[in-house]
Chain A
């Protein structure tokens, strides 16, 4: 699974992109975020408040119950501020 991080999630986690293989019991966005939070201090800090984290799976905005699977591109980022 390809993970992408943007804005302050990227700076707190310390990378903009990585390939991960989550354990089998990670089946949805909420599970993925919970698992990522255990991977280190930067992850825990970046994901401490899931209400501030927006998620896109394969370029589509999704909610916390959306399924995630191996071939997905999952992006985590704060609320957008363009324009």
Chain B
């Protein structure tokens, strides 16, 4: 129901509390939090900068969320994605799906993060040894999203 793209950090617990407040139909909440890893394969990284396409990013996230709500009976959902320079351990993304029963919440949360990774216009620049390197798209992310199309 809500998508946000922001530079600031977020508090997953506070977001869950705010999203579920007064929604007594909810029986299960599933949250995914993505963090900046300290390693890019074999290389340690100092930081990661997320670039995005303002306007299209919000539109795509809203579309992805609407698709999840069409597929599962969700009582509430939220996507928060950060941009700018982040360091290992920092939070990048939060996806929350809430439903009357856990199965829909688990599946919708899984779907949301899979679709977001392949459809939302974000790009990661890793800093390692003082050099910047754009992250390549991953084949397994494409495979992850295809299972939602084939099913």
Contact = CB atoms under 8 A, between A and B. Distances in A.
Nearest to A75: B53
A77 interface: yes
A8 to B, nearest CB: 5
A4 B138 CA distance: 24
B125 to A, nearest CB: 7
Interface centre among B81, B123, B125 (most CB of A within 10 A): B123
Interface string B85-102: 000000011000000000
A59 B52 CA distance: 12
Interface residues of A, number: 15
A75 B56 contact: yes
Interface residues of B, number: 29
A78 to B, nearest CB: 7
B134 A7 contact: yes
Contact of A82 (B55, B93, B125): B93
Interface stretch (B18-26, B103-111, B113-121): B113-121
Nearest to B132: A11
A56 B18 CA distance: 34
Interface string A9-32: 000000000000000000000000
Contacts of A8: 134
B81 to A, nearest CB: 7
A16 to B, nearest CB: 9
Contact of B51 (A6, A56, A79): A6
Contact of A78 (B60, B118, B119, B137): B137
Given A7-B123, A78-B134, 20 more contacts: A7-B51, A7-B134, A56-B56, A59-B56, A59-B60, A75-B56, A77-B121, A77-B123, A81-B117, A81-B122, A81-B124, A81-B138, A82-B50, A82-B81, A82-B93, A82-B117, A82-B124, A83-B34, A83-B92, A83-B113
Which 6 A-B residue pairings sit nearest by Cβ, starting from the closest?
Answer: A82-B122, A79-B137, A83-B117, A7-B123, A59-B56, A81-B135
Interface of B: 34, 50-53, 55-56, 59-60, 81, 92-93, 113, 116-125, 134-138, 141
Interface of A: 4, 6-8, 56, 59, 61, 75, 77-83
